[in-house]
């Protein structure tokens, strides 16, 4: 059976994330210690104990989610006595989850990924003053009508608004200037969208307003070594596979302002014969999306020791 490992993005964080893994497995503890050392910060204390207000700060959330996902991957490998590449055909990650995917298959070191994500979180937060940007979820409207909606909202007034995340069938996220996003929400309601709501985020991710953050990440990514991954990575910005290190570097910069093409990424993996998506890390967001995108694909989430045992027993 063809399988892909996938890695969640921002929004899946929770106090206590990774603690069961660290308590049970040396391989997980090694990942968390490496991240703490790389950042010069006890990020693991924040992950295990909170407070949630500090964990939810973008600069903490991003390396924390990566660390938990990579810890699950390392435990799977050590307990199963295999490498991910032995039992899978692709990896992919949602937004920051792409860094988790690249780290899990050896393209980035854990230390470099942690430092990059700390910088990415800071740069994204600083790119747009708090209160000026916004993101909104549209439920019950697919990407083509949303793109038409965005065109109308852009023509009707000032400001940037784009389709930032094409997550699943009938689940698209807008991003941009607060007033422009609000205008798009009103248009969506007029067009009969099932639900349109502002999201509680601190910045308008994956839109042209993030260009200062993209420039910063170009500088940061230029400093690190990227090696060929042991499995092809399905990239957010193209929804197709990539293994060339310099292309990966370029696409990680583009990803900051570009659309997260998650629905297309899952469809692409299905076209390549993938039958099972295995989500590694905190939460089950990607697993819940799978059936809405491809009904023939099976999704499963691995978070803690019991999930790891069950998965290894199924192989």
In eight-state DSSP terms, residue 230 is S
**111 is written with which tokens?**
């230390």
Tell me the C-alpha distance between 277 and 88, whole Å.
Answer: 10
CB-CB contact of 204 with 177 (8 Å): yes
Q: Catalytic residue positions?
A: 95, 206
Strand pairing of 133-139 and 195-198?
antiparallel
Angle, vertex CA 86, rays to CA 84 and CA 89, nearest 5: 75
The residue assigned the tokens 């308008």 is 204
Q: Which residues pair with 176 in a beta bridge?
A: 134, 161
């Amino acid at each position: 059976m063809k399988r892909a490992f996938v890695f969640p993005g921002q929004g899946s964080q929770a106090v206590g994330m990774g603690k069961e893994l660290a308590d049970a497995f040396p391989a997980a503890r090694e990942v968390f210690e490496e991240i703490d050392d790389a950042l010069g910060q006890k990020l693991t204390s924040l992950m295990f104990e909170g407070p949630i207000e500090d964990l939810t700060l973008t600069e903490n959330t991003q390396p924390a989610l990566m660390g938990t996902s990579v810890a699950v991957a390392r435990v799977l490998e050590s307990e199963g006595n295999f490498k991910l590449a032995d039992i899978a055909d692709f990896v992919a990650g949602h937004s920051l989850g792409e860094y988790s995917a690249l780290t899990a298959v050896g393209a980035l070191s854990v230390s470099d990924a942690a430092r990059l994500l700390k910088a990415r979180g800071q740069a994204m937060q600083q790119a747009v003053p708090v209160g000026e940007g916004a993101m909104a979820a549209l439920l019950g409207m697919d990407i083509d009508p949303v793109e038409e909606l965005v065109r109308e909202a852009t023509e009707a007034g000032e400001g940037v608004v784009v389709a930032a995340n094409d997550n699943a069938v009938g689940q698209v996220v807008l991003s941009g200037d607060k007033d422009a996003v609000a205008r798009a929400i009103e248009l969506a309601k007029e067009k009969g969208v099932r639900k349109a709501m502002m999201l509680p985020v601190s910045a308008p991710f994956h839109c042209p307003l993030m260009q200062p953050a993209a420039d910063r990440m170009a500088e940061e990514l230029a400093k690190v070594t990227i090696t060929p991954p042991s499995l092809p990575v399905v990239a957010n910005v193209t929804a197709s596979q990539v293994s060339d290190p310099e292309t990966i570097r370029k696409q990680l910069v583009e990803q900051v302002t570009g659309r997260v093409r998650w629905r297309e990424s899952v469809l692409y993996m299905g076209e390549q014969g993938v039958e099972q998506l295995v989500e590694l890390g905190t939460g089950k967001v990607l697993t819940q999306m799978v059936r809405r995108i491809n009904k023939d694909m099976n999704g499963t989430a691995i978070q803690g020791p019991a999930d790891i045992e069950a998965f290894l027993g199924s192989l």
